Amino acid sequence: MGQILVTGGAGYIGAHTVKRLCAAGLETVVLDNLSTGHRDFARWGAFIQGDVTDADTLERVFSSRTIDAVIHFAAASQVGESVREPLRYYQNNVGGALALLSAMGRHGVNTLVFSSSCAVYGPPFDGLLTEEHPCAPLSPYARSKRMIETIMEDMARASGLRYVALRYFNAAGADPEAEVGERHNPETHLVPLVLQVALGQRQQLDIYGDDYPTPDGTAIRDYIHVQDLADAHILALKHLENGGASGPFNLGNGLGHSVQQVIEAAREITGKNIAVRMAPRRDGDSTRLVGDATRARAVLGWTPRYADIREILATAWSWHQKETRFTPPR
């Protein structure tokens, strides 16, 4: 395999994946506009600063490199923000995917691993969600992901595109070597927010909704270690390289943890008292999202190594403690 273009490779999941790709001996090219990514995360492989929505930038990348496959992470990803700014999400996420697919087509690149989301699923959310569960996204962010999946399905029939759509559940944790971790500005994800309170960087954690129909009233999510997600991308590339069929794959542990359970586990890991405050539910949030990853295990040979939420939190805690000791560059 020649070079692998990783869009959004300076972001949280992208950077972990690029590190794993390089460790596996694969040559990578990261394309990231650094709007939410970080230059110090793009330390593995080649780096190009640019926007995936810009056709000229993509043309230069594909013309100057020997790209054999693409992993597409680049996207805006905040559910609440997408509800407030839907047009931006469709322009950025769907527009970026269209520009990328067009450039791939012009240069004869037909292998794509796409960063999708479990948010493409619709209610009811009882039990474990399989890939056959109805898709009925609840937010513009989620609808943008499902639109891109549909476009890839159409392109596969029309032009021979070979793709894997990885439907993540909740990414969490950090590189066990603490070289890269979860850093967003502003921060919206539960695990880093909890740990920032433990570090004294925030006074308290807001819990958005304690009236969900769950045992403790807080929303339930399936947390999957970012390292396990990164490994799944390498397996997806190998699957396509070996002639495997295109389609979606869930990536999750199949274990649901409520917001309150994550907080209690963080208190145990950090030894800190984590103050909380109840707040109203956020638009677009689901009650429960827990995935069945049987297909990824059977077809891709994917076996997540981190199942215990405490193990996941421990790697994140190591990263965040290290992160407080320096001011990273943008």
Which pLDDT tens digit goes with each residue over 31-67?
Answer: 999 999 999 999 998 999 999 999 999 999 999 999 9
Q: DSSP secondary-structure letter at 120? A: G
Question: Which residues face 135 on adjacent strands?
Answer: 121
Does 139 lie in the same domain as 114?
Answer: yes
Does 208 lie in the same domain as 99?
Answer: no
Is 329 inside a domain boundary? Answer: no
Given 251, 271, 295, the domain boundary residue is 251
Q: How far apart are CA 46 and CA 16, in angstroms?
A: 15
Encode pLDDT of 141-194 as tens digits.
Answer: 999 999 999 999 999 999 999 999 999 999 999 999 999 999 988 888 899 999
CB atoms within 10 A of CB 91: 14
Does 239 lie in the same domain as 120?
Answer: yes
Domain count, the chain: 2
Confidence of residue 1 (pLDDT cuts 50, 70, 90): low
Comparing CA positions, the residue from 30, 35, 33, 26 lying closest to residue 14 is: 30
Is residue 311 scored above 90 in pLDDT? Answer: yes
Residue 233: CB partners within 8 Å, gap ≥ 6? 17, 20, 21, 71, 113, 166
Q: How far is CA 252 from CA 101, 166, 289, 302, in A?
A: 27, 10, 10, 11
Encode pLDDT of 95-143 as tens digits.
Answer: 999 999 999 999 999 999 999 999 999 888 888 999 999 999 989 999 9
Q: How far apart are CA 94 and CA 151, in angstroms?
A: 9
Given 199, 233, 251, the domain boundary residue is 251
Does 148 lie in the same domain as 195?
Answer: no
- Using alpha carbons only, give the angle 302, 308, 311 rounded to the nearest 5 degrees: 100
- Using alpha carbons only, give the angle 123, 125, 130 rounded to the nearest 5 degrees: 100
Does 129 lie in the same domain as 42?
Answer: yes
Does 302 lie in the same domain as 232?
Answer: no
Q: How far apart are CA 15 and CA 165, in angstroms?
A: 18
Does 194 lie in the same domain as 77?
Answer: no
141 is catalytic: yes
Q: How far apart are CA 294 and CA 282, in angstroms?
A: 31
Is 177 inside a domain boundary? Answer: no
Is 153 inside a domain boundary? Answer: yes
Q: Within its chain, how far is the Cα of 21 from the centroid? A: 16
pTM of whole model > 0.85?
A: yes
Does 261 lie in the same domain as 144?
Answer: no
Encode pLDDT of 58-95 as tens digits.
Answer: 999 999 999 999 999 999 988 888 999 999 999 999 99
Does 147 lie in the same domain as 288?
Answer: no
Whole domain around residue 302: which residue ranges? 190-221+254-323
- What H or E segment, with its residue span, contains residue 102? helix 95-106
Give me the CATH number covering residue 303.
3.90.25.10
- SS3 label, residue 208: strand
Q: Which of 141, 168, 212, 223 is catalytic?
A: 141
Give me the CATH number covering residue 98.
3.40.50.720
